[in-house]
Amino acid sequence: MIEEFAFDNSEERRKVRQNGTGWVEVIAGSMFSGKSEELIRRLTRARIARQTVQVFKPKIDARYSVEEIASHSGQTHMSIPVSSTAEMLALVKDETEVVGIDEGQFFDDAIIDAVNQLAASGRRVIVAGLDQDYTGKPFHPMPHLLSIAEFITKTHAICVKCGSTANYSQRTMDSDALVEVGAADKYEARCRRCFVPHADTPTMI
Q: Closer to ligand ADP at the Cβ: 31 or 125?
A: 31
In the complex, minimum distance from the CB of residue 39 to ligand ADP, in angstroms, rounded to a whole number = 8
- Identify the active-site residue in 12, 103, 150, 188: 103
Asked whether the CA dihedral 177, 181, 183, 186 is positive or negative, the reply is negative
Catalytic annotation present for 103:
yes
| CB contact set of 41 (below 8 Å; sequence gap of 6+) | none
- Partner in contact with 162, chosen from Zn ion, ligand ADP, none, beta carbon below 5 to 8 Å by kind: Zn ion
User: How far is residue 105's CA from residue 137's CA, in Å, rounded to a whole number?
Assistant: 12
In the complex, minimum distance from the CB of residue 129 to ligand ADP, in angstroms, rounded to a whole number = 9
Chain residues binding Zn ion by CB under 5 A are 159, 161-162, 164, 191, 194
Q: Quick one: CA torsion of 86, 91, 96, 102, rounded to 10 degrees?
A: -60
Chain residues binding ligand ADP by CB under 6 A are 29, 31-37, 71-73, 155, 157-158, 160, 189
Q: Which long-range contacts (CB under 8 A, 24 or more apart) does 6-11 make?
A: 6/151, 6/152, 6/153, 8/42, 8/45, 8/46, 8/49, 9/45, 9/49
In the complex, minimum distance from the CB of residue 131 to Zn ion, in angstroms, rounded to a whole number = 18
Q: Closer to ligand ADP at the Cβ: 31 or 115?
A: 31
- Partner in contact with 194, chosen from ligand ADP, Zn ion, none, beta carbon below 5 to 8 Å by kind: Zn ion
In the complex, minimum distance from the CB of residue 15 to Zn ion, in angstroms, rounded to a whole number = 41
User: What residues are labeled active site?
Assistant: 103
